[in-house]
Amino acid sequence: MRNIETLADGWLFTKGSLAGVPAYSPGPEWTEVSVPHTWNAFDGQDGGSDYHRGACWYVRRLEIGERAPESRVYLEFQGAANVAEVYVNGCKVGDHVGGYSTFRMDVTTALMPSGNVLAVKVSNEERSDVYPQMADFTFYGGLYRPVEVLVVNPTHFDLDYHGGPGVTVSSTIGENGAALLDARAWVTGAKAGDLVDFQILDEDGNEVACASQPADLDGGKVRTLIEIPDAHLWQGTEDPYLYEVVATVIRHNEVLDEVSFLHGVREYRFDPQEGFFLNGRLTPLRGVSRHQDRLGRGNALSLEDHVEDAYLIKELGANTIRLAHYQQAQDFYDLCDQLGFVIWAEIPFISKMNDDPAAHQDCISQMTELVIQNFNHSSILMWGISNEILIGGDSPQLVENLRELHALAKSLDPTRVTTMAQVSSTPKDSEHNQITDILSYNHYFGWYGGHLEDNEAWLDDFHAMHPDRSFGLSEYGCEGIISYHSDDPQCGDYSEEYQAVYHEHMARIIDERPWLWGTHVWNMFDFGCDARKEGGVEGRNNKGLVTIDRKVKKDSFFIYQAYWSAEPMVHICSKRYARRAADAIDVKVYSNQPAVSLVVGGKPFATLEASAQTDPHIFVFKDVPLADGYTHVEAHAGDVADSTSWQKVAEAYEPYTFVDPEGGNIVMNWFDDVSADEGLPVDAPYDESHYSVHDTVSVILDNPEASATVTNAASSIANMRIKASMLGVLGNKSLVEMFDQLRSMSGNAEGLEQKIAYLNQQLQQIRK
């Protein structure tokens, strides 16, 4: 039987540059760590775009213990970012490219009877052949998921095929309510007479179906069909019923290997005019996106971290999660199966395609691993092939690569659909919108540009233009920082109140459009992006409904809970807006109950009925008086209640208002007065003692005057307000490369070369 040991403790770690493969030799250059571990837990979240990217070493003793003479020993790495080389006793046993998937290595022949040493070189340095290439999040490095030793019989379920389990099950539902399971297995080292046995157990552990097949036929490939009469269906978050599949390899009266997993019986379809159907029931998918990092931990999460995230999303009332922008932990996929979330799983083909042919092979490898390793997760319904890939520009090669990724996913798994997330500026009639089975768009109208009402206008226009295409909203959101507050929230003020207003609007228009197959808030949690500096917060994207430490739910969390959760709830907004320079204020309350009553200073103030509100989940109590000192307020809705206190003060509390050090003077029409003959050609000689478009973004951003000049130009070209902090993710790109990437996002790209030449002329007037 299979034996598994987790290698959590006993690791030594160093960032130092070493000659050769290190031995296990504790010393001052080494730090003792536990795995999961990342070396960017702090510098990847503190801003400055200067987190460590390079090669680091992990070393530990590797004692296997007593085992059967013919057994095989595998090392399993569930995540090593982004490239790993593995050595046992100084000998290289394998390597892996791609930072988000599982990989295994058979190390049997490299082992000695005792005194073994495991050394792993891991690198997150930039490479042309590894995705992600460019993205708005920190590329954490390290052995950030568990490392395990697997000791198996020579005859075992295949462990060598792209990190997969060696067993798959899919199912269909017959007219009589029976489920037909297509069970397959791949066995290494099978001998005549060996069997593969499948057992299907219900949630009480009772066997409801079984089947056996010889293991040695067809090169160890096994397939059988199993029927579950009157199957209990997996109905998403409403009823996530799961059967257990237990697959065993048997020789005579001995089980040689065993794999078990959970399986949900379900069918689904996407209707462009009606929406998403799960088991024949209209089930609009409404949920969030999730990055996997946390404050002070980076992406090195524990099982408890994953559990907390899953249950916070369940508390929100969501029924779908987009797991962006890479393969995530098996623990989290397991939780999604068990809680009933419908999952969009994707690869990190994001923002920009690299022309290096090896980069496309990495895409193929990551897509293959994503599908093979996660085939058995019933929660996954969509394979995502790219995100905002047109930021880096379009080309026939990009289209070809995307079509190949779509075809690959369909060939590996014909039971699921493919999708992609388009950058907002992708033309509605783009051929990219015809590549995958379904699609979605990322839109930030009302934050980066445009107005809130542009969201529904765009959605309705696309829906009318493409009545035969199922599409959704893959990203939407805005920054919300809980220390900023306003009585008159405006786009760009970073206040908790504006984020709430934004999501109130989005929740309503989404609810009115059930034909949107899926919508995913960006993001469930604030997450690390070391290049960012938004709202005075460095190293972070603040669009989460919950803070990066998972300690605070922002007001925007509760508007979705009011819309999506069946659990009775009531929430008073702006509690952190504690000091009020006013005699009376409006009090806003979210609830999913039919009426809300407000009690002020211990006395009933008013009761509002949901039917009388513009939005049935938003209750606004006008002109609530504030007494001198503190006023205690309670909101009651059925059996649930919420309360807070506000302090009346003489003057407004200044720290509630964000003062933007970049100023609010970004010019959106910066090139309007540029005549056709102005500006020197970009390739003309230039003075290197002054700034130019040949400098990198990071160099430009170090100088306030040069930074302001470039952000004005970028805003004008992209036709939306772009701040210096937003450009930080492009740090090592030259301005010429940056503007070439902005070309595809622009509504004002005409004469781009002339505009870049003019910008170069302006920068040449600023001394370094």
Q: Which two tokens stand for residue 247?
A: 């697959």
CA distance 728 to 567: 42
Q: Would residue 497 show up in a list of annotated catalytic residues for this protein?
A: no
Kindly name the residue from 76, 346, 388, 634 that is annotated as catalytic. Answer: 388
Alpha-carbon Rg for the chain, nearest whole angstrom, is 28
From residue 641, how far is each of 361, 566, 590, 636, 637 by CA, in Å?
Answer: 55, 16, 11, 4, 6
Asked if 223 and 213 count as a contact pair (C-beta separation under 8 A), the reply is yes
Q: Which of 148, 108, 142 is nearest to 3 (CA)?
A: 148
Q: What strands, in cross-sheet order, belong to the sheet with 579-580?
A: 579-580, 640-648, 629-637, 595-600, 603-609
Distance CA 596, CA 584 (A): 19
Q: In whole angstroms, give the CA distance from residue 730 to residue 682.
A: 20
Residue of 100, 62, 58 lying closest to 78 (CA atoms): 100
SS3 assignment, position 280: coil
Instruction: Write the DSSP symbol of residue 233.
Output: P
Which string of DSSP letters, residue by residue, matches 312-333?
HHHHHT--EEEE-SS---HHHH
Cβ contact 519:285 at 8 Å? yes
Q: How far apart are the first and last CA of the chain?
A: 67
Beta 640-648 vs 579-580: how paired, if at all?
parallel
CA 530/CA 729 separation, integer angstroms: 8
* Alpha-helix runs per DSSP H in 413-523: 453-465, 496-511
- Rounded Cα–Cα distance for residues 525 and 548 (Å): 6
Q: Please say whether the beta carbons of 238 and 340 come within 8 A.
A: yes
3-state secondary structure of 742: helix
Least Cα distance to 673 among 735, 716, 723, 704 occurs for: 716
d(CA 295, CA 565): 27
Which secondary structure element, helix H or strand E, spans residue 117, and what is its range?
strand 117-123
Could you give the angle at the alpha carbon of 478 between the alpha carbons of 475 and 484, nearest 5°? 160
Alpha-carbon distance of 365 to 402, in angstroms, equals 14
Contact 151, 64 (CB under 8 A): yes
Residue at 423: amino acid letter: V
- Between strands 518-521 and 285-290, the pairing is parallel
DSSP for 508-524, written as a single string: HHHHT-TTS-EEEES-S
Q: How far is CA 368 from CA 350, 359, 361, 371, 375, in A?
A: 17, 14, 10, 5, 11
> 455 with 505: CB under 8 angstroms?
yes
- Secondary structure E strands in 331-379: 342-346
Classify 5 as helix, strand or coil: strand
Distance CA 415, CA 261 (A): 18
Q: How far is CA 376 from CA 145, 182, 263, 373, in A?
A: 20, 12, 7, 8
Show which residues are catalytic.
Answer: 388
